[in-house]
Chains A and B, each alone.
Chain A
Amino acid sequence: MNAISIHNLHKSFASNRAVDQVSLNIDRGELFGLIGPDGAGKTSLMRLIASLLLPDSGSVHVFGFDTRRDYRSIRKQLGYMPGRFSLYPDLTVEENLHFWATVFGTTIDRHYHLIEQIYKPLEPFKKRKAGQLSGGMKQKLALSCALIHSPSLLLLDEPTTGVDAVSRMEFWDMLQGLKGKDMTLLVSTPYMDEADLCDRIALMQQGKILSAGNPHHLRTQFIGRLWEVKTPQIHPLKQRLNAHFGREVAHLFGQCLHWTSQADMSIDKVEQVLEQFHIPIDSLREIEPGIEDCFIQIARS
């Protein structure tokens, strides 16, 4: 049985189609990533799965339960960490954790093993009010509270937004640690580079799922050949390439240019095209597309 099955789901707010004809299945035990920019509909989709919003049409089933009818059964098995910090700032660390355990009819001790790794760095601060914690610690506390009743499905809405590169890596390490503990994880993120840390992903934009599958599979769907070009004159080269082909074939990736050519273009032909611009080229090689390359291609087509 799927952990989540979504069929032809629609949700609008006034004229804004937040979730537009989404169908998706997520297996038990998967670490699934919803990847897309702000406004793509990630939060709305998550709230529909959490039974906090009702569909306009279509359906969401969580462990076989319908989110309209059987929301009580679903919520017992659900851990949800919203994007905005939503614990009680004027309760202490320990009081927050105790509160969430009690709400779900359990105790901190019963499932302590689940949160031990995450909660340990917080123990010295357990008498501190949650509102006075640093960003990283708030995040650890929120995750602990979402886990304390041992949910079967954990929904994490943009846990790494605005978080620096090192802390983001640490957070994903924590998630990898939770996998395999009979838990399904659904994580949303605007950072494309986090896609490779998921078993499967869905790329979202404007309420729609553009593509879904495992990250490797998505890469094989990339159309054309991708060339990485290094040059001291990166902006002029980008403009010349885009003008030459009459569309955006080249994008900046740090100090490299990623240029998508047609699948049948040979490296000799590629070199010929570059030569005619009379721009010095430091290096040229064919590369595997990343998820960001894929997203740009699909979002533009």
Chain B
Amino acid sequence: MEKDIIRVRNLTKKFGDFVANDQLTFEVKKGEIFGFLGANGAGKTTAIRMLCGLSKPTSGEMEVAGFDAYTQTESIKKNIGYMSQKFSLYDDLTIWENIRFFGGIYGLSRSAIRDRSKEMLTRLGIVNLSNRLIRDIPPGWKQKIAFSVAILHKPQIVFLDEPTGGVDPVTRRQFWDLIYEAIDQGITVFVTTHYMDEAEYCHRLSMMVNGRIVALDSPEALKQRFGSISMNDVFVQLARTGEKSS
């Protein structure tokens, strides 16, 4: 039977009178790539912060990796991975120092850090670069390394917040190959992106408008429902409805 890694029921977050997340209800299934889409300011970041255990809901239920949003945020943090375009690795540490730092934070033993980083650097073909400072690594490579570091502790789920922004087209596709490899290892992937071709690589997509989830389905089903040939068109149609109602 398929297990849910994320279960959210009527999840709401308010800042004063402002309702940033309004009664979100959805599941993320084990082993799927779940795309979390929405216009800027739709409330994606607020939701991700709650899902990562960094902020508490105003009301509603939420379970991530089997842990509760109100009482077990520390356990949530230990069982997830996270990376974004804005924050990934420390520029003034080497690749190896970053691995040791993040491995240590997630409580991996010295030998586990050594074994897994060796395996990872070999797989990426960058063993000879391990003493290079991150700032000297090309941006596309940095994102690939950041992703590998974010799943070094074998989390149940990894959150990727615009992981491929500004990355060249070839490296962007290689990054998605890494995502599929992670799926093969049983890691669930939760991803946001502004590239609509990448939205098509997800198993299921949710679309957020003005703090609400207004659509959730597979890319194919969404395109059929909106009579569109591309996800870009679906996105524009949905986001525009939000503009009218606000």
Binding site for B on A (CB under 8 A): 36-40, 134-136, 158, 161-169, 190-192, 205, 235, 251-255, 292, 295-296, 299-300
Contacts and interface: CB of A to CB of B under 8 A. Distances in A.
B39 A252 contact: no
Given A165-B196, A166-B236, A166-B240, A37 B220 contact: no
B176 A164 contact: no
Contact of B165 (A162, A168, A192): A162
30 contacts: A37-B140, A37-B167, A37-B171, A38-B139, A39-B140, A136-B41, A162-B40, A162-B85, A163-B40, A164-B40, A164-B235, A165-B235, A165-B239, A166-B236, A166-B243, A190-B167, A192-B169, A205-B168, A251-B173, A252-B173, A252-B176, A254-B199, A254-B201, A255-B200, A292-B169, A295-B168, A296-B169, A296-B170, A299-B169, A299-B170
Contact of B231 (A134, A167, A254): A254
A72 B192 CA distance: 44
A148 B201 CA distance: 43
Given A38-B139, A136-B41, A165-B232, A254 B168 contact: no
B169 A166 contact: no
Nearest to A139: B40
B162 interface: yes
Contact of B194 (A165, A192, A253, A292): A165
Nearest to B143: A38
A134 B240 CA distance: 18
A272 to B, nearest CB: 26
A162 B162 contact: yes
B163 to A, nearest CB: 12
Contacts of A40: 168
A209 to B, nearest CB: 15
A37 B236 contact: no
A172 to B, nearest CB: 13
A254 B229 CA distance: 11
Contact of B168 (A162, A167, A235, A299): A299
B119 interface: no
Contacts of B103: none
B219 interface: yes
Interface in B155-176: 162, 165-171, 173, 176
B148 to A, nearest CB: 19
Contact of B220 (A36, A39, A255): A255
Interface in B11-61: 38-41
A255 B219 contact: yes
A36 B140 CA distance: 12
B166 A166 contact: no
A254 B168 CA distance: 16
Contacts of B194: 162-165, 168
A47 B169 CA distance: 25
Contacts of A254: 196-197, 199-201, 230-231
Interface string B178-191: 00100000000000
B138 interface: yes
Contacts of B240: 166
Contacts of A192: 169
A164 B38 contact: yes
Nearest to A294: B169
A166 B39 contact: yes
A136 B40 contact: yes
Nearest to B237: A166
Nearest to B39: A164
Nearest to B85: A162
Given A39-B139, A162-B162, A254-B196, A169 B167 contact: no
Given A134-B41, A164-B38, A251-B173, A37 B139 contact: yes
A295 B165 contact: no
Contact of A164 (B140, B173, B239): B239
A161 B173 contact: no
B205 to A, nearest CB: 12
A17 to B, nearest CB: 13
Given A158-B166, A163-B40, A299-B170, 8 more contacts: A39-B138, A39-B139, A39-B140, A134-B40, A162-B85, A254-B196, A254-B231, A292-B169
Contacts of B243: 166
B168 A36 contact: yes
A253 B219 CA distance: 14
B197 A253 contact: yes
Nearest to A158: B166
A162 B45 CA distance: 13
Given A39-B138, A166-B239, A235 B180 contact: yes
Contacts of B169: 37, 192, 251, 292, 295-296, 299
